Structure 1
Amino acid sequence: MTMAAEAKPATLQGRTALHLFAGGLAGLLIWEVWARVLTKAVLGYPLEPAGLIDAIAQHRLGLSVPYLIREALHYGVGIVGYPVAYFVISRFVPRWPVVLDAIVLVTFSAGIAGLIAAGSFAPIHFIFWTAAVGLIATRAINRSPLIADAITWGNFTWFNALGLMAPVGGLSFYLLGEGGELSYMSFVGHVIYGAVAVWLFERLETGTGRD
């Protein structure tokens, strides 16, 4: 039986809301270390979600959003937005882990196929695709439904950021056109963020330490 198949509270109020936002905050704090410290050490520059917000505002509205507002939006999405989306999807969408895994698998594979068709496919893209697909496939051997579902949600937050929002901001699909390195670091960061947020929330909700 998966987490999605178990009975779960379907009302977002009181302690459930506090647990949800606590999970989002914990995941976001770890994301910040990954994005601003570790990614910078590896690539020479950090991941900047605020930059994506600015790209969307510039590309779609011709507006320049002040840095502090962009940062506030970033924290709002990480602590409140994504957790609330998880709550709604996990409580009301049947077989949601399968649906979200399929979305990530199909869209990212389509992005890689586009690189192949354009003649810009490189070994790093194959490694990246293998890592993403391999992570999705771990559900088949994962003995913990909670951890499997948490990983699925982490994957989906990456799809939302780079598969949806990046193109809206005039950037390439999954940022694959920028070489793939930044997209890979974002992939790892989003998986960690989303998985921690979901794992902590569900553990707090059950109060039993169940996996």
Structure 2
Amino acid sequence: MSIATFSHNARIDGRTGAALLIAAAAALVAWEIFARAIAPVWIGGPLQPTGLVKSLFANVLGLPVGQAAAQAVHLATGLLVYPAGYLAATRIKSLGWAADGAVLGAATWFFALGIVAPVSGLPFLLGVGAITWAALAGHLIYGLVVTGGFALARKRLG
């Protein structure tokens, strides 16, 4: 059974949830490796999504948020929010895990840099520089690992 067929007709059950959580955890690990080990070589420093979270809370809610809380928000978004959006979208239409992953990665990147950044008082797409493209690469990796990992985990879990 292909992921396209599975996703469209899927019941959301314990196995589906477990497979998605496993895939999302793996995707966050891949993101962190990219953000902290590969991006610094490319752009001269790590990608720091917690800075975006801190700016969002400070500029929108007027609340200072510490590093641990910002990291928790980022992890919750990557473990729960984005994967839930992927599952909901592919219940309507899936293009296959690779295309779905690219769409998920691009959508999460645009949401973070194209919507959250400006709302947080930062430039649209963070000014379209090297950090913008590094973040896109990281989000594409994240999206592909979520969708590929989900297909694999779902197959393994039955």
TM-score category by the smaller chain? 0.7 to 0.9
Q: Is the 8 A contact 2:8 2:90 kept in 1?
A: no
Tell me the distance in 1 between the aligned counterparts of 2:94 and 2:16.
20
Choose which of 128, 140, 151 in structure 2 pairs with 1:202: 151
> How many equivalent pairs are there?
156
Amino acid at match of 1:146: W
Number of the residue aligned with 2:59: 59
The answer as to 2:39 corresponding to 1:45 is: no
Cα shift at 1:9: 0.8
Distance 1:6 1:189, change over 3 A: closer
Q: Give the match's secondary structure for 1:63.
A: coil
Q: Is the 8 A contact 1:3 1:149 kept in 2?
A: no
> Structure 2-normalised TM-score?
0.88
Q: Is the 8 A contact 2:28 2:79 kept in 1?
A: yes
Cα shift at 1:37: 1.8
- 1:106-154, CA deviations, whole angstroms, 9 ceiling, x for partnerless residues? xxxxxxxxxxxxxxxxxxxxxxxxxxxxxxxxxxxxxxx3212221211
Q: Is the 8 A contact 2:42 2:134 kept in 1?
A: no
- 1:47-85, CA deviations, whole angstroms, 9 ceiling, x for partnerless residues? 111110001111112221011111111111111221111
Distance 1:62 1:148, change over 3 A: same
What is the root-mean-square deviation in Å for CA atoms of aligned residues?
A: 2.2
Choose which of 103, 106, 110 in structure 2 pairs with 1:159: 110
Tell me the distance in 2 between the aligned counterparts of 1:22 and 1:6.
16
Tell me the distance in 2 between the aligned counterparts of 1:56 and 1:160.
13
Cα shift at 1:6: 6.5
Number of the residue aligned with 2:133: 184
Q: Give the match's secondary structure for 2:9.
A: coil
Cα shift at 1:206: 3.6
Number of the residue aligned with 1:113: none
Cα shift at 1:205: 2.0
Consecutive unaligned residues in structure 2, runs of 5 or more: none
Identity of aligned residues (%): 33
